[in-house]
């Protein structure tokens, strides 16, 4: 996913989507969706403008305030060929298709300075090669970096000892007569 432009009221993206089902399992990726937040660590969702948020290419529909099935739950926006995030159409990326592309625009109801995308989900349908079902939903996880380790500072006793050593060394140098 590549951010192509951002104006404060709209963000335009290009997406290259691949279906990497493997080990004898074939499927069709029939939707991609996520939530839109004010920043990465926030749960404050931003309002998207209905009728202005759009998609073209592989997925022709942008569905706002839908949900993915299989206990995934609500999603701010999904891109699909169907009228809902549930799927049901024949579009998408089949295992053998390789990379497929689409573009989308997120239009905001109010101007924003920044935004973050999270809670990514992918809808799979037409699953073959397993007895676990013919459809499913995958959920992406995000990486949260660890807090940096605190800097090591010498203990006060160590600093004091070094200071006394320096004072003592200076006094010795001062007492030596020059030859």
- For the segment 11-35, what is each residue's pLDDT rounded down to a tens digit? 999 999 998 888 888 888 888 999 9
Following DSSP, what letter does each residue of 20-76 receive, concatenated? ---TT-EEEEEEEEEEEESSTT---BPPBPTTTSEEEES--EEEEEEEETTTTEEEE
Asked if residue 147 belongs to a domain, the reply is no
**What is residue 12's predicted lDDT score, i.e. its pLDDT?**
97
Q: Which of 35-44, 74-83, 139-148 has the highest mean pLDDT?
A: 74-83
Asked if residue 106 belongs to a domain, the reply is yes
Give the structural domain span for 26: 2-139
Asked if residue 75 belongs to a domain, the reply is yes
Asked if residue 105 belongs to a domain, the reply is yes
Asked if residue 42 belongs to a domain, the reply is yes
Asked if residue 88 belongs to a domain, the reply is yes
Contact 12, 107 (CB under 8 A): no
Segment 98-138, tens digit of pLDDT: 899 999 999 999 999 999 998 888 888 887 887 776 666 66
Segment 41-52, tens digit of pLDDT: 777 888 899 889
**Alpha carbon distance 21, 18 (integer Å):** 9
Asked if residue 155 belongs to a domain, the reply is no
Q: How many structural domains compose the chain?
A: 1
Asked if residue 153 belongs to a domain, the reply is no
* Tokens matching residue 69: 């099935």
């Amino acid at each position: 996913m590549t951010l192509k432009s951002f104006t404060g009221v709209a963000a335009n993206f290009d997406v290259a989507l691949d279906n990497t089902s493997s080990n004898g399992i074939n499927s069709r990726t029939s939707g991609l969706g996520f939530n839109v937040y004010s920043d990465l660590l926030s749960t404050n969702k931003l309002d998207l403008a209905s009728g202005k948020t759009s998609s073209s290419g592989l997925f022709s529909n942008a569905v706002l305030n839908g949900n993915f099935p299989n206990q995934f739950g609500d999603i701010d926006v999904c891109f699909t060929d169907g009228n809902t995030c549930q799927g049901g159409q024949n579009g998408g990326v089949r295992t053998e298709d390789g990379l497929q592309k689409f573009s989308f625009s997120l239009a905001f109801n109010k101007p924003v300075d920044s935004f973050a995308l999270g809670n990514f989900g992918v809808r799979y349908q037409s699953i073959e090669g397993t007895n676990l079902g013919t459809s499913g939903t995958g959920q992406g996880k995000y990486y949260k970096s660890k807090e940096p380790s605190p800097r090591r500072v010498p203990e006060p006793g160590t600093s004091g000892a070094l200071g006394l050593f320096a004072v003592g060394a200076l006094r010795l140098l001062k007492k030596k007569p020059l030859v």
